[in-house]
Amino acid sequence: MKIFSDERLINLGIISGTASKDSGSGREKQNTDKFFSSLNIPADKILGLKQVHGDKIIPLLTERDLSAYRASEVHEADGWLLGLKGFGVMILTADCVPLYLWDKQGKFISLCHCGWRGVAAQMPKKAAKLIKDQAGQNCEICAYIGPHINACCFEVQEDVAGQFDPSSIIKRDGKLFVDLTADIVRQLKECGVKMEDIKSPCSCECTCCNKEIFFSYRRDHTKDVLISFAYKL
């Protein structure tokens, strides 16, 4: 099992990352329970979502937020803003981007399931702004862009391409491809995030290309998904 993660978060007391496919599909509770147990993280402290490919972000900053989460049976959203210690959040991906954003003090971390619709709806920018609302407008934000489908494989039609900034579109052999990393980086830079604080070591790890490591909906058309998480010690 491999976990794609950013050591900057470990140094802030946040355990996080995206697990390779040999951890099992995140749709199966027995797989997620086993995965978190292997990391000595209580599975009942990890909260999940019903992802809908939107841009809604759920705050988990106070005990009141936690109570509101527990009072509802359905949590339709695609992102988290976590501030509570002793809890973690989880998203599931199979080509979409697991995006981690946090302030440099590690008080707040956002974990977002950024499908192309979420990226087109400016979800990365929204998450960065939510962190600044909590940590202060002058806070410095770091970003980690986890494994996802890369521009080599993400072919789209004109209706989808038209929803992105032209700088994120690649034309090749008469076809159109979206570079999700490029669009996320563009949005974050517009929010004042410095380029040197944005890491995307997985830019060479396309989920669609790497069948041995990742699940991919575009490649396999199955419902198997990777586990991405952030747990605040």
Residue-wise pLDDT tens digits, 163-189: 999 999 999 999 999 999 999 999 999
Domain boundaries, the chain: 3-232
pLDDT at 153 over 90: yes
On the question of pLDDT at 156 being above 90, the answer is yes
User: What average pLDDT does the segment 192-211 reach?
Assistant: 89
pLDDT > 90 fraction of the chain, expressed in percent and rounded: 97
Which three-class secondary structure state does DSSP give residue 225? coil
Could you say which architecture CATH assigns to the domain 3-232? Answer: 4-Layer Sandwich (3.60)
Share the mean pLDDT of the chain: 96
Question: What pLDDT does 205 receive?
Answer: 84
Which among 49, 30, 92 has a CA at the least distance from the CA of 226?
A: 92
pLDDT for position 202:
61
The residue type at 218: R
pLDDT over 70 percentage in the chain:
99
Cβ–Cβ < 8 Å for 225, 27: yes
What mean pLDDT do residues 80-93 have? 98
- C-alpha 169/C-alpha 163 separation (Å) is 10
pLDDT tens by residue, 21-59: 999 999 999 999 999 999 999 999 999 999 999 999 999
Query: Which amino acid is present at 107?
Result: K
pLDDT value at residue 8: 97
Answer whether residue 106 shows pLDDT above 80: yes
With a cut of 70, say whether residue 204 has pLDDT above it.
no
Does the pLDDT at position 203 exceed 80? no
CA-to-CA distance for 57 and 107, rounded, in angstroms? Answer: 17
Instruction: Name the pLDDT band for 116 (thresholds 50, 70, 90).
Output: very high
Please check the confidence at residue 196 and state whether its pLDDT lies above 90.
Answer: yes
Instruction: Report the pLDDT averaged over residues 102-130.
Output: 98
3-class DSSP state of 50 = strand
Phi/psi for 184 (5° steps) reads -65, -45
* DSSP string covering 123-148: HHHHHHHHHHHHH-TT--EEEEE-SB
Burial class for 79, CB neighbours closer than 10 Å (0-12, 13-18, 19+): buried
